[in-house]
Amino acid sequence: MPDFATCRQTLLLYLKARIPFICLRTDERDRGLELFRELASELNVPVYYHTLSQGTRDFATKRVVSEDRSVAGALDHASQQILQRQNVTFVLTEVQDLDSDTPVSRQMLDVVSSATEHGGVIVVITASSIWPRLQRHGFTLALGSPSEDEMRTIISECLEPYRGSVRIEWGDAELIEAATILAGVTRIEAENAIATFLAKGWIFKADLAELSRIKDRIFSDISGIERVNVSGKDLTVGGLAGLRAWLEKQRPLLTMDLRERGLRPPRGVLLVGVPGCGKSLSAKAIAVSWNLPLYRLDLANIHGQYLGQSEARLKDALGTADRVAPCVLWIDEIEKGLAGAAGSSSDGGTSARLVGHFLYWLQESRARVFVVSTANDIQRLPPELLRRGRFDELFFVDLPSTIERQEIVTLYARRYMHRELPPQMLTELVDLSDGFAGADIDAAVADVAKEAILKGDGAVDDGYWHKVFTNIVPFSKTNPEAVDAIRAWGRERALPASGQSFVTDTNQPKARRSVLL
């Protein structure tokens, strides 16, 4: 949506051109009125505004010109003034039932018709849609939430009067980060958040984390996406060194101002690979380590039974994600929600339209939403999802190597058993877990821990550890054909999440990565 300055410039042109009907779409009525308050002095024409609490007033003098507070009364007054005078402008802020053919819409249409003949302008500030027949008499202009530059100015204006009397540690870098965090909220919401900090008597650099939580509470009642509550405890990911190193480079770019170089913030990553190897856990770990809220979009649940319903639900969900940014958006098993897109007409083309809308948003949105998508059944992935410019990178999450299994076994032994395993025993468990996914190792150590809780740590000896690990039958053995197919696909098309080059066996050269299609 246009920022305040852009909207102001366009609105000024519309008013000078005497467009008879202007719809200003915004959730912030007061911010919309502020636009007209600034423009009233430049236009040299009478500008009036109506509210249900104050009636109709003159922008320039604040004088009440009509005490009738009803919308019908305001329209009657506007109609009389437009017939008697040239070039008058009326701004109505609380008009209901304009989205269809209603008595209010009909009355508004009559007044707009008079304005067309006498150089008048009727402006409606609303967040709702407009009856098409009425809309065709003018233009619609959208005023979005404050941009990051505007938000920085708003925050500075809130803080400056208190510098010197309140300890404020925020400098330019913190102001930029705070503006990034508060992107998507209204001006009054941002002012309330800063006022909450000032009420404490100090503002520290560490309060930026609290600012994210305040924004999270503002959007606690959201639709389309699900808020996932995660904490740092028990969210350490074993292995995946290559993925972790890549993510470490992306983190600062998510909040930096990249506009000078024409770059967009990091868009996200697609994780494909063997089930149970840490793809979903990685999404949660990213949100925790980056100190960002995590939201989950279930594409499989957005499908509706009516034509266009699925697309509307997806549009609302992605729009919500843009509003709550910066955040991590987790799309688990993305292939299930986009299945059937490639050439299938069994669903009337719904899947194809969903793919198109999702890819457009993924490539064109500039909101700081870092998308973490996971996929197990790679054969169902639409080919266009893998093209460069969609996700920043495509990683293949393979079965953990010997070194990674050692790290994962050690991690879960510390987490569940609160102990370090002897080197000899650790080596034996790593050998026994050959072919295990991370989830298999988790389940094995969890079973040992449960036995320790029931019978005491003394009852869990080395033999019991061996027995549990031996009894686990991993997915790689129950469905080896599927695992081989996944690994063959990933080794040719993606970067290894482990950070190690793929090797099919000791007698074959390392596989090189091919260009994404």
Class of domain 4-142: alpha beta
Q: What angle do CA 362, 327, 355 make, to 5 degrees?
A: 25
Q: What count of residues does the chain have?
A: 517
Tell me what pLDDT residue 505 has.
40
| CB neighbour list of residue 426: distance below 8 Å, 6 or more residues apart | 406, 409, 410
User: Quick check: pTM over 0.75?
Assistant: no
Do the beta carbons of residue 376 and residue 333 sit within 8 Å?
yes
Q: Which token pair is 196?
A: 């909450």
Half-sphere exposure of 265 (CA within 13 A, CB side): 20
Give long-range contacts, CB 8 A cutoff, 24+ apart: 84-87: 85/46, 85/118, 86/118, 86/119, 86/120, 87/18, 87/45, 87/46, 87/119, 87/120
pLDDT score recorded for residue 308:
67
Give CA–CA dist 13/10, Å, rounded.
Answer: 5
Instruction: Give 87's Cβ-side CA count (13 Å radius).
Output: 9
CA angle 339, 355, 397 (to 5 degrees): 60
Contact 274, 286 (CB under 8 A): no
Q: Write out the two tokens for 443.
A: 């389940």
Mean pLDDT by 10 residues, the chain (517 residues): 83 93 92 88 86 92 91 94 92 91 94 93 93 94 88 94 91 90 88 92 89 81 76 67 89 82 88 86 86 85 68 86 88 78 56 85 88 85 80 90 92 91 93 92 94 90 92 89 85 82 43 31
Q: Burial level of 153, CB count in 10 A (0-12/13-18/19+)?
A: middle
Q: What integer pLDDT is reported at residue 233 of this predicted model? A: 60
CATH 3.40.50.2000 fits 241-397, yes or no: no
